[in-house]
Structure 1
Amino acid sequence: MITLLEWGGSLLGLLGAFLLATHSRLSKYGWIAFLAANLAMVAFAIGIERYGLLVQQIGFTATSVLGLRRAGLLFFRAVKQR
């Protein structure tokens, strides 16, 4: 399972980078690949007990969610404070 997470995360990350680099109508779907890669790598980092990698992947997950939102693929509203 650890090997599957490692390779799946790596390949999905490369796919996401490729899609964004094409600067085409499909580019926005790179954020979906990045999010899937981040989740796989989070699980991988936990599985191998590498917490520096885990922190990095949590940060990358946040940027992927931001990318999804900016690309119009994730819809949520921020809660307004009074």
Structure 2
Amino acid sequence: MMEQTIELIFQWGGAAFGIAGAGLLSSNVRLSPYGWLLFLVSSVQLCIYAVLIQAWGLLALNACFVCTNFNGIWRCLMPYLRARKNGCTDGTPEAAR
């Protein structure tokens, strides 16, 4: 029973964070770059879930998603955070130049 509960937490947690990340990124608002962090949490949770249920294809897919999420964090979130640190009020790197 406890094992089923843990599996459900990772399964539905991964789904919820993935949906929230997709919604945030697709909304194209000031905080959209944070969607990559939500995607990362989702992918890690789904990797754990895949290991628990021994779904190796799902694990491979989400391991690749972890890599693409780090790429999104590096290419989108980090420039956003640097621009904010440099005093840009809207967070876009172009406005900070």
Determine what percentage of the aligned residue pairs are the same residue.
34
More helix by share: 2
The two structures, once aligned, show a CA RMSD in angstroms of: 1.2
The TM-score with structure 1 as length reference comes to: 0.87
In the alignment, structure 1 residue 41 sits paired with structure 2 residue 68 = no
Unpaired runs of at least 5, structure 2:
1-5, 80-97
Unpaired runs of at least 5, structure 1:
75-82
Alignment of structure 1 residues 25-64 onto 2, 5 Å: 25-64=30-69
**Partner amino acid, structure 1, of 2:45:** A
- Matches of 2:61 and 2:51 in 1, distance apart? 12
Aligned length: 74
Alignment of structure 1 residues 58-73 onto 2, 5 Å: 58-73=63-78
Report the Cα offset of residue 71 of structure 1.
1.5
The TM-score with structure 2 as length reference comes to: 0.74
**Deviations for 1:29-54, whole angstroms, at most 9, x for unmatched residues?**
00000000000000000000000000
- Matches of 2:35 and 2:62 in 1, distance apart? 16
**Deviations for 1:8-65, whole angstroms, at most 9, x for unmatched residues?**
0000000000000010111000000000000000000000000000000000110000
Select the residue among 3, 8, 13 that pairs with 1:3. Answer: 8
Larger radius of gyration: 2
Higher relative contact order (CA 8 A, sep 6+): 1
